[in-house]
Copies of this chain bind each other. A is one copy, B any other.
Amino acid sequence: MAPTPGGGNDGLWSDPPRGPLDAYRARASFSPRELQLFWEGEDTLRFKKAVFSALEKDPLFAGSRGADLSLEKYRELSFLRCKRVFEYGFFSLDNLDQSLLRLPALTYCLGMYDWSVGTKFALHLMVFGSALYSLGSERHLKYVEKVLNMEIFGCFALTELSHGSNTQAIRTTAHYDPTTEEFIIHSPDFEAAKFWVGNMGKTATHGVVFAQLYTPDGRCHGLHSFVVQIRDPKTLLPMPGVMVGDMGRKLGQNGLDSGFAMFHKVRIPRQDLLNRAGDVTPQGTYTATFKDARQRTRVSLGSLSSGRIFITGVCVVNLQQAVCIAIRFSATRRQFGPAGEEEIPVLEYQMQQWRLLPYLAAAYVLDHFSKSLLLDLARLYGGLLRGDQAAPQAELSREIHALAAAAKPLVSWTAQQGIQECREACGGHGYLAVNRLGDLRNDNDPNCTYEGDNSILLKEASKYLLNFLEPEEQDGVRFQSPLQTVSFLEAYPVVLGQRFQGTSVADWLDPTAPLAAYTWLVCYLLQSSHQKVSQERRSGRSDFEVKNSSQVYHLRTLALAFMERTVVQRFHTHVRSPSVPPSLRAVLGRLSTLYALWSLSQHTALLYRGGYLAGEQAGQALEAAILDLCAQLKDDAVALVDVIAPPDFVLNSPIGRADGELSKNLWGAVLQESGVLERASWWQEFSVHRPVVGSLKSKL
């Protein structure tokens, strides 16, 4: 069977450049092209190639990606690049099903280039644009059109200076005035200023602004969203009553203008209330779409789930790029070796394999998971579009909410830790800005915070799981959900009696072993969390106290372990599906088992404590299995990163280039920096204005 796919893919691939990476490439156990085709599909491959080629050919994208620019200049450049993406017309919204997957793909391509561009684009089109669509109604379609034409530029303004996580405490108000049929948007003080709003700093003309809705009778109807004009599109000057500004430098994504705004009695038309959850009549009567206020809020904040799922993909591409750089570096960087022989690539060291290869596995496993969540989301949106409001649709929404709330923490933390490990694994060269690991880390970092702080989000997932054990639901069907992520819990009393039966490395290399261990672990954590919560309740504590005192070591761990198990389960099933070419099964299976065991090994203490493991051998064998898989995968590692690596132009890392000419690329890049060999312009400060040691001592 020919490992390289045949005709019909012309122009899709070029051979990797010859060089120091040849040796590893030759040792790969599979065809990278075949894997790439299977992994992405030809359609997506072509699309990504088109996007990358356009960027590479366009001089606007040739220059700096920020670090050496002033904030003003970097923001201008990011805006111009974002505008250029519209000019290329990479996407069309004619086919909504297609665009639901293609828009993220485009954004990930832009983000691989530079997240300042990617986030700017996503906030305008996918966050602002889709909020108009999902929170509003037909009367707001006029805005959607302007979004697509870039006649207006949007932002999403929920967070305030003093409130982020506790959205219910948002203090911006929207009082309805029936005499003019307007809402009056107002910030009571600077602590209620909208804060951390991407695109708001310099560019947004309009925002979806969240505020507490008051009717003329003085009643507050809770948080609602409004389209508020912030700047005049003709002049980009603020609208009357709006004080809007730029928050200044951040740890990363500095091409993105994060901003703040205070509203001083800004009047907007009644129709600019986004009215999916509730509306106000011209006379000032509130009409709720849902009776339950909590359900209204859920609709208002519902678009956050899609944002969280999108972010998991953002983190995946960040991790992938970091792993590409670190693996190629490790395959070409030589240091030490057997006595009297040539130095060996650092990838040959067990330590380096153990530091990097689990993250390579994560880069594959989490990529699949993130894409699968996007398909779940498409199913949910399909139901919404059909106007499906039946119970299963609500259940699906709850399940996806829980999955998204736990997926973002797991994936963003994995990426954060993985990128840091890659940076350190590249030694000093990883610390040089030109090699890009710093930008990847800094641009990835906010994913741990925005669209819901990771630690707080995890509560949503554990709440979802514990709810299945609530007494009132015990009569009905238990542990059933549309996506069946909780089905395994049905048998939890039985599962808790299970024990790991193996003793050897081979027993752990059986791909069902980590899955079985995870199943036991989640059941164990569910039970102990339930016991903890019940015990706290029995001691007379308030709901608030019960939750507060059950997070650490209980609910938090439960949510993460549940999510890890879901990820492991999905990839396990995926690599065994008939669609997988037989020649790829071995390598994908190894990635699957390595990720599963490595991830599981964080929980070994609980496996022992709860009795699932016993004796020294079980734990030793688990560790040996991880090292064994690392050794098995190290010769495939370069080919595996070739599959997920963007072109060199996009990856933009001298030590990570596909030609593997580590030293030459690095030396060349360093010499190309501006003024690198020039004497400092302030040289006289050393040689002319000489210091007199202690001359200022009297000033002390």
Interface residues in A241-285 (C-beta closer than 8 Å to B): 243-252, 257, 260
A 602-642 binary contact with B (CB < 8 Å = 1; else 0): 00111111110101101110010001000000000000000
Set B79, B343, B695: member contacting A686, Cβ < 8 A: B79
B80 close to A685 (CB less than 8 A): yes
A 334-367 binary contact with B (CB < 8 Å = 1; else 0): 1111110001000011110011000000000000
Set B71, B83, B336, B676: member contacting A685, Cβ < 8 A: B83
Q: List, in ascending order, chain B residues with CB within 8 A of A474's CB.
A: none
Q: List, in ascending order, chain B residues with CB within 8 A of A54's CB.
A: 696, 699-700
A293 to chain B, nearest CB (A): 15
A601 to chain B, nearest CB (A): 8
B248 close to A433 (CB less than 8 A): yes
A694 to chain B, nearest CB (A): 3
Which B residue's beta carbon lies closest to that of A152? Answer: B686
Q: List, in ascending order, chain B residues with CB within 8 A of A236's CB.
A: 679-680, 683, 686-687
**How many subunits of this chain does the assembly comprise?**
2
Using a Cβ–Cβ cut-off of 8 Å, how many residues does chain A contribute to the interface with B? 147
CA distance A349 to B607 in the complex (A): 28
Q: List, in ascending order, chain B residues with CB within 8 A of A666's CB.
A: 161
Q: List, in ascending order, chain B residues with CB within 8 A of A334's CB.
A: 162
B79 close to A696 (CB less than 8 A): no
Interface residues in A52-88 (C-beta closer than 8 Å to B): 53-54, 57, 67-68, 70-72, 75-76, 79-80, 83-84, 86-88
Pick from A206-214, A314-322, A440-448, A577-585 the stretch touching chain B: A440-448
B663 close to A162 (CB less than 8 A): yes
Set B86, B335, B677, B699: member contacting A243, Cβ < 8 A: B677
Pick from A12-20, A172-180, A489-497, A667-675 the stretch touching chain B: A667-675
CA distance A250 to B67 in the complex (A): 10
A87 close to B673 (CB less than 8 A): no
B673 close to A248 (CB less than 8 A): yes
B434 close to A446 (CB less than 8 A): no
B604 close to A610 (CB less than 8 A): no
Q: List, in ascending order, chain B residues with CB within 8 A of A166's CB.
A: 335-336, 343
A695 close to B87 (CB less than 8 A): yes
Query: Does chain B have a CB within 8 A of A23?
Result: no
Query: Does chain B have a CB within 8 A of A169?
Result: yes
Q: Can you list 23 A-B pairs with a CB-CB distance of less than 8 A?
A: A68-B70, A72-B681, A75-B680, A76-B685, A86-B693, A87-B693, A88-B697, A161-B667, A165-B335, A169-B336, A203-B686, A233-B687, A246-B675, A248-B432, A248-B670, A248-B673, A249-B432, A251-B438, A251-B441, A424-B449, A438-B442, A552-B627, A609-B616
